[in-house]
Amino acid sequence: MTVRRSTGFLVFLLGCVLVMGGLFVVHPLIGGEEYARGLERRRQLVRDLGLTDLCLFTEARYTRHLSQADLHSAFQDHPMALEHFPSGSLVLPPPHLLEGGP
């Protein structure tokens, strides 16, 4: 007896749904407590040390502390100095510029 093609596809689809369920629903529950402990450790350090930023882009001082940087850090070196660090291209202009406001 030959298996219908649609049966094969539906089995494949069911497999995908099971894998997605395992990844999207079950996996986040595993290690949840450990993550919560880690998050509390990080929050404690942020509280104790008075930290303001994530340590993601360490290449330039204004990308290391994005929230503390000068408002015109792209021109900080001299008036014609344009942004030249790659992470600068990942960071958006301030919201008021995007909204077209003053």
Partner 1 sequence: MKWIERQRAFMDYTLSSLWRRKLRNLALLMVYTLVIFLLSSVIFFTDALRKEAAAVLEAGPEMIVQRTVGGRHSLIPVAYAERIERIRGASSVRPRLWGYYYHQASRTNYTILVPETFSGPDDTVQTGGGVLRTWGALWDGRMYFRTHDGNSLFLLPTSAMSDGADLVTADLILMSEPTFRKISGVPEGHATDLVVRVRNERERPTVAEKIVRELPDTRPILREEIARTYAAIFDWRAGYVVVLLGSAVLAFFIFAWDKATGLSAEEKTEIGILKGIGWDTSDVLMMKFWEGAVVSVSAFALGAITGYVHVYFASASLFEHALKGWSILYPKFTLRPQVSAYQLAVLFFLTVVPYTLLTVVPTWKVAVTDPDAVMRR
Q: Name which of 64, 101, 79, 76 is nearest 91 in CA terms.
A: 64
CA distance 83 to 91: 11
Q: How many chain residues interact with partner 1 (CB under 8 A)?
A: 59
Encoded one letter per residue, x for contact with partner 1 by CB under 8 A and - for no contact, window 40-79 reads -xxxxxxxxxxxxxxxxxxxxx-xxxxxxxxxx---x---
CA distance 34 to 45: 17
Is the CB of 48 or the CB of 102 nearer to partner 1?
48
Rounded alpha-carbon distances, angstroms, from residue 45 to 18, 31, 79: 39, 21, 38
Is the CB of 96 or the CB of 102 nearer to partner 1?
96
Is the CB of 45 or the CB of 81 nearer to partner 1?
45
Q: Name which of 80, 77, 65, 74 is nearest 93 in CA terms.
A: 74
Of 95, 100, 101, 102, which lies in the binding site for partner 1, with binding defined by CB under 8 A? 95
Residues contributing to the site for partner 1 (CB under 8 A): 4-6, 8-9, 12-13, 16-17, 19-20, 23-24, 27-28, 35, 38-39, 41-61, 63-72, 76, 85-87, 89-92, 95, 98
